[in-house]
Amino acid sequence: MSRRACERNDNSDSMTSGLPIGILDFGSAGNVKSVANAFKRAGVKARLIRSYSPQMGLSGLVMPGVGSFSVVPGIIRSLGGKERAASIKIPVLCICLGMQALFPKSEECRKAKGLGIIEGKVRRIRGLVQLPQLGWNQVYQARKDALFFGIKNGEYFYFANSYAAFPSNGSNTLASTEYGERFASTVRYENWYGVQFHPEKSGRAGLKLIKNFAAICRRRVK
């Protein structure tokens, strides 16, 4: 079977069949509607949820977020607290601020605590560049992962950020981006994925990544 045929079959099962993916609407995620619309355009079954419980029967979870790190405690509450969040077994895709929430803390709001799923720091981007970064930039894959299946190395995705993540362990970095300095633009720890860019605003590449995440979710529940 050709790679194109494999990709076609891989995506078809992840569309409207099977268990839905939950998109967390915790009240301060300004991009939640655009994320939901992107999943719909990708043909992926998803539904908005205000909080997460294992009893919901979801195949995966999406944690969007825009704005300041100060809203991260609200994300954590919607997950049932740090301990319950750490016990989530389904794949989780964390977008923009959602990715930064995976880390213990951020310079942006020192009083707010993150999930601490991934060790490292979140700080303001350094270098002679205009902040926030608004627009398209390249994502360079550090290693192969199903999240980037069929997406070329160096593909452009849409960013909107002034702060960036720097994992302590380089193995947590799936991809990096250069803007003033090199930072982690995609991270992973076990079933937790984080992307600093906005797949819902990234055209075909973003929709492909969403389909790939859906395929990951489908395989996890089989």
Query: Active-site positions?
Result: 96, 198, 200
**Residue 139 · residue 206 · CB < 8 Å:** no
**DSSP secondary structure code for residue 144 in this structure:** -
Angle between helices 203-221 and 32-41 (to 10 degrees): 80
Measuring CA to CA, which residue among 69, 38, 24, 93 is closest to residue 161?
A: 69
Angle at 117 between CA 22 and CA 191, to 5 degrees: 50
**Residue 20 · residue 46 · CB < 8 Å:** yes
Joined together, the tokens standing for residue 15 give 């569309």
Measuring CA to CA, which residue among 79, 18, 66 is closest to residue 44?
A: 18
